[in-house]
Amino acid sequence: MTTDLSRRQLLAATAAALAGSPLWAHAAADKTAAPRFELPPLPWDASALDPVISASTIAQHHGKHHAAYVANLNRLLPNSPLTDAASLVEIIQRSARNEGSRTIFNNAAQVWNHTFYWQSLRPKGGGTPPSELAKRIEADFGSLAALREATLTASTDQFGAGWVWLVLDKNQKKLTVVKTGNADTPLTQEHLVPLATIDVWEHAYYLDYQSRRKDYAAAVFDKLLNWDFVATNLAKA
């Protein structure tokens, strides 16, 4: 897309750059047509997160669930008032304010949320964050262990499907953990900047962990969380 990047569009571009792939939204050649979106490739091989998340789960999650959101969004946009939107982020923000566009919001937000989730993970992740980020975590949470506990609490407290986010709260000028239900995303709240996320929809973990959502969230935090991605997003916030 050839528009000036907003702060959140820049965040999306950062995610795409780290994936080594083009930005996931592609405008149609005809500027009057609705934008078309493509399923972004994973930033690592589908088996790379084993044994924390199996290749079978990734195949279902990325190849079916994420792909379905992309297909639904491409089907819904041409008959909507959002055909002039310049980016996926703009579609999310405009449709969130319009109850009549809720179906578009659900699919657009899930395209963005899932793409951000893949970037939030990496093989042999977790562990100790980069030094400057570690200092910020200690200042805002008291310790990395306290951030971990806040993340696991949010993961288990989220009723039904949803997401757990590490964000920068610009109003409080500090890092915090928030949870959102279903497709909801911090992109709709101007004071929140998403830094990383854990998907707590059942399809993200059920094949590997059954109903043990807390065990899944703990394994992701300890072994897969991409602290470099968090640090990059925070630096650009």
How high is the pLDDT of residue 36?
87
Q: Is 57 exposed, middle or buried (0-12, 13-18, 19+ CB in 10 A)?
A: buried
- Residue 120's alpha-carbon distances to 99, 157, 159, in angstroms, are 30, 21, 22
How high is the pLDDT of residue 191?
97
Per-residue pLDDT tens listing for the chain (237 residues): 333 334 444 444 444 433 333 334 444 445 556 668 999 999 999 999 999 999 999 999 999 999 999 999 999 999 899 999 999 999 999 999 899 999 999 999 999 999 999 999 999 999 999 999 999 999 999 999 999 999 999 999 999 999 999 999 999 999 999 999 999 999 999 999 999 999 999 999 999 999 999 999 999 999 999 999 999 999 999
Alpha helices in the chain (DSSP H): 7-19, 55-60, 67-76, 88-96, 102-120, 131-141, 144-157, 206-209, 213-223, 227-236
| Paired tokens of 133 | 């980020």
The model carries a pTM of: 0.88
Consecutive H or E run containing 179:
strand 174-181
Sorted by sequence, the CB contacts under 8 Å of residue 120 that are 6+ apart come out as: 196, 197, 198, 225, 226, 229, 230
Return the bridge partners of 36, or none: 26
Nearest partner of 61 among 83, 36, 42, judged by Cα: 42
How high is the pLDDT of residue 171?
97
Q: What structural domains does the chain harbor?
A: 7-45+53-120 (1.10.287.990), 131-236 (3.55.40.20)
